């Protein structure tokens, strides 16, 4: 139980914490990786830690269908589909997007695992947010008319409850660091809907763990990320009451947003270079939307001296690998890599 809430612990934890010898040698930084891409069901990733809490709540409420939302290539949707399959439930993933209709990457896996995928095109005169609410309500009603009980998993799993997955991960990391006798580390994670970062932040601070945390935004925020973070943190405090003993102001949130390249999930050649570097040096596959952007940001911070040589760094690999097989990333990679691909 964490902060008064139970989870259905289907993951094999702890995930490995490994030193990356090649990258440590190249950069002069003591470089470690936390393999949360190896969390198994549905090809793994960070959302499964959050879903351990959501599925417990959904089963408690006797739900039979999980519905969630995100971009068409949502990793969170794919992992919600995985959990639904594992627990014998139905799953629906709903997006508002102008989508080409191609079934690749995560969408392919969603369908393989039996989830229904609904992609509604934007409509003039109605905001995407309102269209999403309408569409979700309609799909929910359809399931209910068939006698199903629907449980809604919030986008990215980033609600007050969803932070508990990475709250636990902070405690798991603290134990691994102690057992491996690692220096006080700087932890880096991708920031999308922010539940991963906020879970780690609350776990580190509330449990008084000696670690620094830096988030790397993978897409621009509508306001300063720290302002956003503060608002989220206040909602968490309201939800958990005095079980969260700490307070925080904007200056306590370290979220770098220099490496978003201006958009969500856009193909970026520097990010692909970071992906190729990790793959060729350590045989670890990153994704173009989240972990590739984050690793690229870490490399840039090392190059510019923002991360000291000799610093111990732990990069949390949050998964997302199916994204390399989605358009347009796959096309860009094929174009980069075809020079040394020979058929004769």
Q: Which residues are near ligand PLP by CB under 6 A?
A: 45-46, 75-76, 156, 158, 190-197, 287, 290-291, 318-320
Pinpoint the alpha helices (H) of 247-328. Answer: 269-282, 291-303
Distance of alpha carbon 183 from alpha carbon 178, whole angstroms: 9
Nearer to ligand PLP, 52 or 148 (CB): 52
Nearer to ligand PLP, 134 or 330 (CB): 330
The nearer residue to ligand PLP, 87 or 264, going by C-beta atoms, is 264
Residue (206 or 294) nearer to ligand PLP, CB: 294
The stretches of 241-290 forming alpha helices (DSSP H) are: 269-282
Residue closer to ligand PLP (CB basis): 53 or 290: 290
Question: What phi and psi values does residue 218 have, to the nearest 5 degrees?
Answer: -100, -5
Least gap, CB of 73 to ligand PLP (angstroms): 9
Residue 82 — left, alpha, or beta (φ > 0 → left; ψ -120 to 50 → alpha)?
A: alpha
Taking CB atoms, the residue at the shortest distance from ligand PLP is: 320
CB of 37 to ligand PLP, least distance (A): 8
Contacts of 17 (CB under 8 A, 6+ apart): 32, 33, 34, 35, 173, 176, 177, 180, 314
CA–CA separation, 85 vs 81, rounded Å? 6
* Closer residue to ligand PLP in complex, CB, 191/210: 191
Residue 30 or 252: which CB sits closer to ligand PLP? Answer: 252
Least distance from ligand PLP to the Cβ atom of residue 79, Å: 8
Cα–Cα distance for residue pair 97/117, rounded to 1 Å: 12
Residue 75 CB, shortest distance to ligand PLP, in Å, is 3
324 phi and psi, to 5 degrees?
Answer: -70, -20
Q: How many other CB atoms are there within 10 angstroms of residue 176's CB atom? A: 17
Taking the complex as a whole, how short is the minimal distance between the CB of residue 343 and ligand PLP, in angstroms? 33
Least distance in Å: CB of 32 to ligand PLP? 17
We find the least distance from the C-beta atom of residue 290 to ligand PLP, in angstroms, to be 3
- Identity of the residue, 222 or 304, whose beta carbon is nearer to ligand PLP in the bound complex: 222
End-to-end CA distance of the chain: 59
- ∠ at Cα 222 (216, 223), nearest 5°? 80
Q: How far is the CB of 48 from ligand PLP (least distance, A)?
A: 11
| Residue 61 · residue 152 · CB < 8 Å | no
Task: Answer yes or no: are the C-beta atoms of 307 and 29 closer than 8 Å.
Answer: yes
């Amino acid at each position: 139980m964490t902060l008064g809430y139970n989870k259905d612990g289907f993951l094999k934890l702890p995930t490995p914490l490994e030193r990356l010898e090649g990258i440590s040698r190249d950069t002069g930084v003591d470089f470690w990786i936390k393999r949360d891409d190896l969390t198994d069901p549905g090809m793994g990733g960070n959302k499964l830690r959050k879903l351990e809490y959501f599925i417990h709540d959904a089963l408690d409420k006797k739900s039979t269908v999980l519905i969630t939302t995100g971009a068409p290539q949502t990793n969170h949707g794919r992992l919600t589909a995985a959990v639904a399959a594992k627990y014998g439930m139905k799953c629906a993933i709903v997006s508002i997007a102008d989508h080409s209709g191609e079934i690749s990457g995560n969408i392919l896996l969603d369908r393989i695992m039996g989830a229904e995928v609904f992609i509604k095109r934007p409509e003039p005169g109605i905001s995407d947010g309102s269209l999403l609410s309408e569409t979700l309500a309609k799909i929910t009603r359809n399931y209910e008319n068939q006698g199903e009980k629907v449980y809604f998993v919030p986008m990215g799993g980033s609600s007050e409850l969803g932070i508990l997955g990475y709250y636990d991960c902070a405690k798991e990391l603290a134990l691994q660091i102690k057992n491996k006798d690692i220096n006080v580390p700087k932890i880096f994670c991708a920031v999308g809907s922010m539940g991963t970062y906020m879970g780690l932040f609350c776990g580190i601070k509330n449990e008084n763990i000696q670690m620094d945390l830096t988030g790397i935004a993978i897409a621009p925020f509508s306001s300063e990320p720290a302002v956003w973070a503060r608002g989220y943190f206040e909602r968490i405090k309201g939800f958990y009451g005095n079980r969260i003993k700490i307070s925080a102001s904007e200056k306590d949130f370290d979220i770098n947003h220099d490496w978003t390249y201006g958009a969500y999930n856009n193909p970026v050649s520097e990010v692909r270079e970071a992906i190729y570097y990790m793959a060729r040096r350590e045989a670890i596959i990153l994704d173009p939307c989240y972990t590739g952007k984050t690793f690229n940001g870490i490399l840039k911070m090392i190059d510019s001296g923002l991360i000291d040589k000799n610093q111990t760094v732990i990069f949390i690999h949050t998964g997302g690998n199916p994204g390399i097989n989605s358009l347009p990333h796959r096309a860009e990679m094929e174009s980069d890599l075809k020079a040394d691909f020979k058929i004769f």
